Chains A and B, each alone.
Chain A
Amino acid sequence: NAGVTQTPKFQVLKTGQSMTLQCAQDMNHEYMSWYRQDPGMGLRLIHYSVGAGITDQGEVPNGYNVSRSTTEDFPLRLLSAAPSQTSVYFCASSRSGRASYEQYFGPGTRLTVT
């Protein structure tokens, strides 16, 4: 199993550009989530999904969209990049329904917005 994979590993965007961060998992996990990690702020939840077709907002959803058309994939879209979105983005997944199960994280995407 590859676990949780994320692409790209690194990305530089100009202000106003849009892009999609890809996340996939091959563990048949129902729960998936996106976090951003900034110095001194820890991991903050952006969006999460408890199954295909179901998504919900986390702590910092503004400026991001998600969709979950399959169990495996959970892409994160930046609609119009801003310098404040410079961060490290982690995707995570866990077994169905309960975050009390172990969350497995992807290797992260380092995004810089200039």
Chain B
Amino acid sequence: RKEVEQDPGPFNVPEGATVAFNCTYSNSASQSFFWYRQDCRKEPKLLMSVYSSGNEDGRFTAQLNRASQYISLLIRDSKLSDSATYLCAARFGNEKLTFGTGTRLTIIP
């Protein structure tokens, strides 16, 4: 079983809709969690860190559920510019960051 798993999608969502992704992790000792965004043929860029209390940044909300070992990303009022691949990542132990395979999102006009 992979340490971090995501539904690869694709998710095709109409503009203005709300979309949510989940990402599960297998190591209960993992300590830090992140969502990265990757545009086609570009490098990943940090979208947001995920805190135990949950956090919100504009239209984006990230949640952590330690009991069920998953993190989630909610995008409200989706824009065409949100089309990208979203990677979740988790830190286990020292320094190493493990990524999921990514979820591809396409916002349809």
Contact = CB atoms under 8 A, between A and B. Distances in A.
A42 B43 contact: no
B95 A107 contact: no
A107 B99 contact: no
Interface in B52-109: 87, 91, 95-102
Contacts of A74: none
Task: Please tell me the size bucket of the interface on B.
Answer: 10 to 19
Contact of A102 (B46, B98, B99, B101): B46
Contacts of A16: none
Contact of A105 (B8, B44, B49, B100): B44
A100 B96 contact: no
A90 B44 contact: yes
Interface in A29-80: 31, 33, 35, 40-45, 48, 50, 58-59
Given A41-B101, A42-B99, 4 more contacts: A102-B49, A103-B46, A105-B43, A106-B43
- Lowest 10 CB-CB distances: which A-B pairs, in order? A42-B101, A105-B43, A100-B32, A43-B99, A99-B97, A99-B91, A102-B46, A99-B95, A42-B99, A105-B44
Interface of B: 8, 31-32, 42-46, 49, 87, 91, 95-102
